[in-house]
Amino acid sequence: MSLPVAVAQFAALADKRHNRAAITGLVASAAAGGARLVVLPENSMWSHPDTSVDPFTASENLDGEFTAFLADLAREHTVWLVCGMTERTEALGKVHNTLVVFDDTGKLVTRYRKVHLYDAFGYHESDFVAPGPISEPATFELDGFRFGILTCYELRFPESARRLAVAGADALVLPAAWVAGPMKEDHWITLLRARAIENTVYMIAADQTGPTCIGQSTVIDPGGVIVTGAGPAPGRAEALLDLDRIAAVRETTPSLSQRRFEVVAR
């Protein structure tokens, strides 16, 4: 069984209308190209290259304008969407860095709030983002494939990916805003391939583009083969996921079923 997916990339700004227009164009073209699932970057609703609006003011609830927009888009193009947004929390001044998943009827299937925040490389995401709770592995099912959900910096936490693979994921979706810098493209592709190979899963990673981020949205297959890449500029790339490919890789590389240790929360 096979499933056509697309990764789509652009640079989100503080101007929400700009971001929605970019998303509309990318989803329309991906759907016209036959994609069943379109993965968009982390923080696609709003991003903060300038400090004129603070994240809490920009944030929206899960029944807000942005999710209504995504629901309409999914329904209009009969396509599943995974997208990152800035979600309001109860705690005044703090937001969640949240991924939402819509099915092709516009129903919110699930959401995932980033657990590991990007307090690294001089960034302090936890200054304005509250981490999500440690809960059941975040997954959703589409056309016989089980997808696990991770956000950006969480690519650096192999136990997060492993936990999703153990929960039955065939593929991991990873919306990101991977900040540009020395070695960052190498970290991105190396870690994506490592997570794919060690867990024998597809990695479906959509990243924001420059100047802040690197683009390079990518699909890696369960054997570590780079199936497609979107390069540095705004745009998209498609790939066909194949359950037989996963089974074939797991036949020759049974590391997932041979493991001797469990992943536990700390």
Ligand X SMILES: O=C(O)CNC(=O)[C@H](CS)NC(=O)CCC(=O)C(=O)O
Among 178, 202, 204, 237, binds ligand X (CB under 6 A): 178
In the complex with ligand X, the residue whose CB is nearer, 146 or 156, is: 156
Q: Specify the stretch interacting with ligand X by CB under 6 A; choose among 28-36, 136-144, 174-182, 251-259.
A: 174-182
Question: Structure tokens of 72?
Answer: 């309409």
Among 19, 43, 67, 139, binds ligand X (CB under 6 A): 43
Closest distance to ligand X from the beta carbon of 85 (Å): 11
What CA–CA distance (Å, rounded) separates 128 from 201?
32
Does the active-site annotation cover 152? Answer: yes
Q: How far apart are CA 235 and CA 210, in angstroms?
A: 12
**CA–CA gap between residue 95 and residue 233 (Å, rounded):** 29
The one-letter code for the residue type at 29 is: S
Residues 95-154 that bind ligand X (CB under 6 A): 118, 121, 123, 125, 152-153
Residue 258 burial (C-beta neighbours within 10 Å; 0-12, 13-18, 19+): exposed
CB of 212 vs ligand X, minimal distance in Å: 5
Least distance (Å) between residue 125 CB and ligand X: 4
Binding characters for ligand X, 47-76, by CB under 6 A (x = yes): xx----------------------------
Please report how close the Cβ of residue 186 comes to ligand X at its closest, in angstroms.
11
Active site residue 87: no
- Nearest-angstrom CA–CA distance, 5 and 29: 12
Question: Considering beta carbons, is residue 41 or 235 the nearer one to ligand X?
Answer: 41
Closest listed residue to residue 194, CA positions, set 174, 218, 224, 215 = 224
Q: Which residue has the tokens 């790339």?
A: 237
Cα dihedral: 73, 79, 83, 85 (round 10)? 30
Binder among 24, 89, 110, 212 for ligand X (CB under 6 A): 212
The number of residues making up the chain comes to: 266
Q: Kindly determine how many residues on this chain lie close enough to bind ligand X according to the rule CB under 6 A.
A: 17
Question: Among the options 83, 152, 154, 213, which is catalytic?
Answer: 152
